[in-house]
């Protein structure tokens, strides 16, 4: 099983919206991917980052896939690409971590 974790910060203003508005829109778009991408086994997304975190983040995504090929298929899926385009305009930073168990 492969776990994919991504976290973003957002520009103060982009696309005519605040960072918080863009983060909320991205969260809704990511949640909308459920059931649309076969290779996406599980998805969790949150705007709530606790003070105990050691990294600055405004939006966190965790997805699970069978393997690296599943992650690649998810990333290439047209519905995911729409969310990625939104993020390219609105995000100030992105960090990711993938691991298998």
- The number of folded domains in the chain is 1
Q: What is the mean pLDDT of residues 84-88?
A: 97
* Whole-angstrom distance, CA of residue 50 vs CA of residue 38: 31
Give pLDDT, residue 8.
98
Residue length of the chain: 101
What are the pLDDT digits (tens) for 37-49? 999 999 999 999 9
> What range does the domain containing 15 cover?
2-100
Buried b (16+ CB within 10 A) or exposed e, 50-64: eeeeeeebbbbbebb
Specify the CATH number for the domain of residue 33.
Answer: 3.30.70.100
pTM over 0.85: yes
């Amino acid at each position: 099983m492969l776990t994919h974790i991504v976290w973003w910060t957002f520009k103060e203003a982009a696309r005519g919206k605040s960072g918080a508005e863009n983060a909320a829109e991205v969260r809704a778009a990511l949640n909308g991917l459920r059931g649309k991408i076969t290779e996406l086994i599980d998805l969790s997304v949150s705007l709530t980052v606790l003070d105990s975190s050691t990294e600055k983040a405004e939006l966190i995504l965790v997805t699970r896939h069978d393997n690296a090929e599943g992650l690649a298929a998810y990333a290439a899926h047209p519905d995911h690409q729409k969310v990625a385009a939104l993020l390219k305009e609105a995000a100030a930073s992105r960090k990711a971590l993938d691991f298998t168990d």
